[in-house]
Every structure is written in structure tokens, then in C-alpha cells.
């Protein structure tokens, strides 16, 4: 006797949600990648390919995928000639509202660590990460952020989080002297600490 044909939904899980911890989201692991990361789409595609290949997508995998995809984007930015006033290819797929907006590299304290990141929307970013203190800002984007990550690589705790060694403290203190304190209070969760009071000299680098 011929068995009734199963529906496609019962035969194959189109989005492989049975293999992803990110249930309820059509894009697997989208909650693990910053929404304003310029390389977000490439990072998510990379993570999906790795998952299908049987690789466990943990924090370390996300960190590696992020570094690789950002590096590729940096190379595209450096290699592609762009005429004055033109929009580079790697940005044409972004939202039109983002074009021409100021990009910032930010330094925020989250607990006992310093997060170094980049964003074009400070209010939205800080609302997402809820830092304990906004330490400093400097104009710049993905390339500058990567330079800072390399500069303080020996202090890296994980991903974009760094231990507050004297070199990093001194650098942030110098930014505050040059640019002034950020004076951003929205979305900040105070914990009673102040790493960089105005009357404290910059730590000596060892």
C-alpha cells in the first residue's frame, strides 16, 4: 500500500533550526553579531557555513569569523580605488541613511574590562551593550578599530574586550585630554567607579 507523501516541512528543516541554538530567528546566530557591524552579513554567512560543516559555533568561533570577515573588508577598502564623492562597493549595499554619517571608535568600560568597538550610531550601540562608563571616543571606523585592536593585542581578554593595562589607560586618558570627556549618560549603568577622573595623571607605561 502506498504511503502518503510527507510534506516538505517534515522532511527537511529549511533553516536547520535543529542544529542551531538560536531558535526562533530566521537568521542563525544573528544575536551573536553586532547589528551595526559593517561586516555583519559576511560574518553570519561564514558562521552558517561553518555550522553546516559541523563546526560548533561558540564565542571563539564568532571571534575568528569576525576577525576574518573584517580583514577581508579592510582589504577591499584598501584595494578598491574610489573617486572623490563616490561610494565604495562594500558600502553600496548598506542603508542609504548610513552614508555620510560620522563613524566613531569608542572605548567603554564593561565591568573590569574595556571594550573597543566602532559604530555610526552611538546611542543605539550603547543601548545594546549597556556600559558602566563611556571612557573615550575618537573619529574613525573599521580600519582604525582594527589598528587599535592590534595595538593593544597583548591586553586582549576576548574579542573586543581588553584588560585595562597601563598602555591602554594612558591612551584613553590622552584621548580624554585631547577630545574632552564624552559626557554620555544615556544607557550607561553606573557602578560607582571612575577609572579616569579629570585630576588623575596618565599612568606610566611599563
9 three-state secondary structure = helix
Across all residues in the chain, what is the average pLDDT? 75
DSSP conformation letters of 68-83: HHHHHHHHHHHHS---
pLDDT of residue 96: 38
Residue 40 pLDDT level (bands cut at 50, 70, 90): confident
Distance CA 205, CA 157 (A): 19
What integer pLDDT is reported at residue 105 of this predicted model?
93
Q: Is 102 exposed, middle or buried (0-12, 13-18, 19+ CB in 10 A)?
A: exposed
pLDDT of 201 > 50? The answer is no
Q: Write out pLDDT tens, residues 82-121.
A: 555 555 554 544 443 344 468 899 999 998 999 999 988 8
Domain boundaries of the chain, sorted by first residue: 14-79, 101-179
Kindly indicate the confidence band of residue 152, based on its pLDDT and cuts at 50, 70 and 90.
very high
Asked if 170 and 178 touch (Cβ cutoff 8 Å), the reply is no
pLDDT, tens digit (0-9, with 9 covering 90-100), for 60-85: 888 888 888 887 777 666 555 555 55
CB distance 57 to 29 below 8 Å: yes
Q: Are 108 and 115 in contact (CB under 8 A)?
A: yes
Amino acid at each position: 500500500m502506498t504511503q502518503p507523501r510527507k510534506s516538505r516541512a517534515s522532511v527537511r528543516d529549511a533553516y536547520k533550526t535543529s542544529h542551531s541554538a538560536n531558535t526562533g530567528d530566521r537568521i542563525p546566530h544573528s544575536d551573536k553579531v553586532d547589528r551595526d557591524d559593517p561586516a555583519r552579513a559576511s560574518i553570519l554567512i561564514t558562521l552558517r557555513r561553518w555550522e553546516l560543516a559541523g563546526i560548533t559555533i561558540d564565542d571563539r568561533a564568532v571571534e575568528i569569523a569576525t576577525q576574518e570577515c573584517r580583514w577581508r573588508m579592510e582589504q577591499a577598502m584598501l584595494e578598491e580605488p574610489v573617486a572623490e564623492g563616490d561610494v565604495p562597493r562594500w558600502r553600496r549595499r548598506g542603508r542609504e541613511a548610513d552614508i555620510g554619517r560620522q563613524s566613531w571608535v569608542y572605548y567603554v568600560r564593561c565591568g573590569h574590562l574595556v571594550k573597543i568597538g566602532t559604530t555610526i550610531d552611538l546611542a543605539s550601540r550603547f543601548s545594546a551593550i549597556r556600559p558602566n562608563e563611556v571612557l573615550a571616543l575618537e573619529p574613525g571606523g573599521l580600519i582604525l578599530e582594527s589598528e587599535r585592536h592590534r595595538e593593544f593585542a597583548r591586553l586582549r581578554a576576548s574579542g573586543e574586550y581588553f584588560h585595562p593595562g597601563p598602555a591602554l589607560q594612558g591612551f584613553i586618558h590622552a584621548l580624554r585630554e585631547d577630545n574632552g570627556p564624552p559626557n554620555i549618560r544615556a544607557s550607561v549603568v553606573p557602578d560607582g567607579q571612575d577609572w579616569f577622573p579629570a585630576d588623575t595623571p596618565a599612568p606610566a607605561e611599563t
